[in-house]
A and B are shown apart, each in its own frame.
Chain A
Amino acid sequence: MAVDTMIVSERQAPAWKRIGAMREAGLIAIILALGIVMSFASPHFLTFGNLRAMLMSFSVEGIVVVGMTILLIVGGIDLAVGSVVCFAMVLAGSLFLTGVDPWTASLVGILASSLIGMIMGFFVTVVGLNHFITSLAGMVIVRGLCLVFTKGTPLSLFTLPASFKAVGQGTFHGVPYVILIFVAVVMLFDFLLRRATAFRKVFYTGSNEKAALYSGIKTKQVKFWVTVLCSTLAGVAGVIYMSRFGAATPTFGVGMELNIIAAAVIGGASLNGGSGTILGAILGIALLSVVTSSLILLDVSVYWQDMIKGCILLAAVSIDHLLHKRKAA
């Protein structure tokens, strides 16, 4: 056996790329198909207003999805994102009402979110609890903090200056700032995830923590900072929501974490860590958003909506699991 014959054309890379692309292509196909069906079913679906509303609605959640996807890749999970979004919003709002400049207040809100991430990261990496339990506790505690800050009543922030409100409500050459921010975040982290050494370590750690440790990677550090990143992005989303709604509600974002995790998983992130893409996760949240919008336009009872979304999640993940099993065989 000569060495030359053993190499079967190494340039034939696309085989796996095609499979990798298939997931995203499949999601795009499903979204398009749903869009075509809906454009016949409802005259309101394919209007500029509705499309823009849909894009707006998942743009801010999309920022949180980015953080969650990276955390899932490292093998973690964060159930507290909904609470942290709300916390950043409520904290920044309260500070603003005490007379702090809204930009400074927002920065404090975001930094406080990072701090929450650090505390959770501490419990995960130093104390040694798992992400699920730590963030479950975080979810409840932070939600409690929101209620404490507001004494349970929504903060009305109609006095926010127009320059600040513009972040959530204004447009740049007709494109909402929210969408621009979202696209920037997505592109930045998509690039980093593919190219930056620091983020490559996220994949190594999530794929096989022991092997990563044996390769000299400081896996605990990696897990800590990814946890912080996820919380920080949730904080960013929180202040954007505040700007957009001109209000801060202590019950905002209840159940949001499930939507976020569902989107990342539909987009191909594995709960076992080691895999996931930003593009996939964004398509995942787009799909959920199109479904929600469709259900509303079709006048489906709210009571049914959650059930239908749950079934879609189950179907998407099952199909993915079966495809993977076949690939491995």
Chain B
Amino acid sequence: MAAQPVLEVRRVTKHFGAVKALTEVDFLLERGEIHALCGENGAGKSTLMNIIAGVLQPNDGEVLVDGAPVKITSPATAQAFGIGLVHQEIALCPDATVAENMFMAATNRRRSPLMNYGALEREAQVVMNRLAPIDVRRKVAVLTISSQQLVEIAKALTLDCRVLILDEPTAALTEAEAQALFGIIRDLKAAGISIIYISHRMAEIFSLCDRVTVFRDGRHVVTEKIADVTPDDIVRRMVGREISQLYPPKQSPETRSDETILSVRELSDGDRIDTVSFDLRRGEILGLGGLIGSGRTEIAEAICGLRAKSKGEIALRGTPQHIANYRDAVDAGIVYLSEDRKGSGVFVDLSIAQNISVLDLKTLTGRLGLLNARAEADLARDFVRRLGVRMGGIDMPVSSLSGGNQQKVAIAKQLAVRPQVILMDEPTRGIDVGAKSEIHRLLRELAEAGIGIIVISSELPELLGLCDRVLVVREGAIAGELDDTEMSEEAVIRLASGVTPTDRTAIGRTENVA
């Protein structure tokens, strides 16, 4: 390793409004190393990578390339410094061909005003062949997600970068594709390129990387040589936080009931979900944990008729249900609160009252198809009071509320139809701490009132603090179940990332089989 690090980050701080995403973070990348970056969701990994790639600007601190302080003001500047980033999300032009997408960034830097398509396709095919046999003349839109991910990686390979950042590159890849990718990453390393590798999968990190850095809550925790640590060490350092006492008390053994409200049997969609079975009992809050993209949301969607299922049975209090679309689910008493609050949860420019009544229009409609305005207002006032929504009035648009109060309105909307089961996807995402614990208390009260509640959360403390039982989802299947006594952040991370607490050679093997 050369003495001069190719990239260095010194005391970088970044905040979004009041939320601190990074606090005085240091990070150092040596020439020709593969450096793993680990941390829970929200630990600040992606924020730091976006700063290095010029997508975000730090509030404080500096970035050095080859020992010289630089300002990376845009992705184009980052490319000029030889820094390439493969995003976790796919950002391709669906109507352009694979070749055109691959050379989008490179074309941007070329001087010739005309495109030479013949040469472009030949070059693209050469790069692509190293990864997978994908015809570069095909349109991106017709490719599968995993092929699109490969195009995203190939795109970065066409830039002659010295630093390549890969953000969960294998999340959507099959085992064979992942192995091909590892081969390429090792070739790149041999060619002197430095790589930052972000992943949750311990097996990959241990077979591929030279060093590992762990982030937690926006801070740098430790940087170690891979040879000096075990997967257990890393998991422990990723967690290393005490669970605060902010959560409402859980179900006591006396109140625990064996009555099943919702039972799901062998649910599959032939794509993202693989034979999922579980029971939701009366009065409990059941957590669905797992990595982002593991299939948690898809399971919830399949239960509620928002996603077509290829097989599986859903029964409510022992009665089998035929749920073909979301309306059926609502009529049966199952409601779903989307993680994408603004996209598919609330109507931001309509009033609070109008939002709360949307699922309940039928009962509010009187003679001649006219809406009973007084009943609507009463309904809204009732829920606003019960949920403690802070607002100017029920006629105010939802956009006038804070995130936490918007979420309460979204919950009120679901409660207005008197559901038996509520599925909540990331119920407190983007909500401040105070409103968060109000929502947690609300959920507990609802559970005690006999409503079955399933919570999907990427925040481990929330999952552990709130839920009576946690199912961990991995690659579309239930990887394990943890009851209150077995629950710990380590246990969830182990199940979610497929690490068993035994020695690490065994881990590598199980991962390859999976």
Contact = CB atoms under 8 A, between A and B. Distances in A.
7 contacts: A12-B392, A12-B393, A15-B392, A16-B392, A198-B369, A213-B326, A215-B330
Given A197-B365, A207-B349, A11 B371 contact: no
Contacts of B393: 10-16
A208 B371 contact: no
A243 B326 CA distance: 49
B350 A10 contact: no
A195 interface: yes
B359 A216 contact: yes
Interface stretch (A1-9, A90-98, A223-231, A232-240): A1-9
A-B residue pairs, 4 tightest by C-beta? A13-B393, A216-B327, A207-B347, A6-B388
A195 B371 CA distance: 5
Given A13-B392, A13-B394, A197-B361, A211 B384 contact: no
Given A13-B395, A208-B348, A210-B344, A200 B361 contact: yes
Contacts of B330: 215-216
Contacts of A212: 347, 358
Contact of A16 (B306, B345, B384, B396): B396
Given A197-B364, A215-B359, 7 more contacts: A10-B391, A16-B393, A16-B396, A195-B371, A200-B361, A217-B358, A275-B349
A274 B370 contact: no
Q: Place the interface of chain B in its size category.
A: 35 or more
Given A198-B369, A214-B326, A6 B350 contact: no
Interface of B: 306, 325-327, 330, 336, 338, 343-351, 354, 358-359, 361, 364-365, 369-371, 373, 381, 384-385, 388-397, 399-400, 413, 434, 438
A203 to B, nearest CB: 6
A213 B304 CA distance: 13
Contacts of A13: 392-396
A198 B370 CA distance: 8
A129 interface: no
Interface string A176-197: 0000000000000000000111
A70 B45 CA distance: 46
A328 B370 contact: no
A201 B354 CA distance: 10
Contacts of A3: 385, 388
Given A197-B361, A208-B348, A216-B326, A8 B369 contact: no
Given A10-B384, A275-B349, A17 B370 contact: no
Contacts of A7: 384-385, 388-390
A204 interface: yes
B338 A214 contact: yes
Contact of B371 (A1, A197, A211): A197
B153 to A, nearest CB: 30
Interface in A111-153: none
B79 to A, nearest CB: 33
B395 A214 contact: no
A36 B108 CA distance: 57
**B325, B370, B390: most-surrounded residue (chain A CB, <10 A):** B370
Interface of A: 1, 3, 6-8, 10-17, 195-198, 200-201, 203-204, 207-208, 210-217, 274-275, 328
B347 A10 contact: no
A274 B371 contact: no
Contacts of A215: 326, 330, 358-359, 413
A208 B396 contact: no
Given A11-B393, A197-B364, A216-B326, A203 B354 contact: yes
Contacts of B399: 328
Given A7-B384, A7-B385, A208-B347, A200 B326 contact: no
A67 B370 CA distance: 20
B350 A214 contact: no
Nearest to B414: A215
B371 A200 contact: yes
Contacts of A15: 392-393, 396
A17 to B, nearest CB: 6
A214 B391 CA distance: 25
B365 A274 contact: no
Given A200-B354, A210-B343, A274-B350, A195 B395 contact: no
A11 B359 CA distance: 24
A214 B344 CA distance: 7
B368 to A, nearest CB: 8
Given A15-B392, A198-B369, A214 B354 contact: no
A212 B344 CA distance: 8
Contacts of A17: 395
Nearest to A20: B395
B390 A8 contact: yes
Contacts of B373: 195
Contacts of A11: 393
A16 B395 contact: yes
A109 to B, nearest CB: 28
A113 B407 CA distance: 44
A70 to B, nearest CB: 16
A211 B346 contact: yes
B349 A274 contact: yes
B337 to A, nearest CB: 10
A200 B434 CA distance: 34
B384 A197 contact: no
A197 B369 contact: yes
A3 B390 CA distance: 10
B395 A196 contact: no
Contacts of A195: 370-371, 373
Contacts of B344: 208, 210-211, 213-214
Contacts of A197: 361, 364-365, 369-371
B383 to A, nearest CB: 11
A189 B413 CA distance: 27
A118 B326 CA distance: 27
**A13, A200, A214: most-surrounded residue (chain B CB, <10 A):** A214
A203 B327 CA distance: 19
Nearest to A273: B349
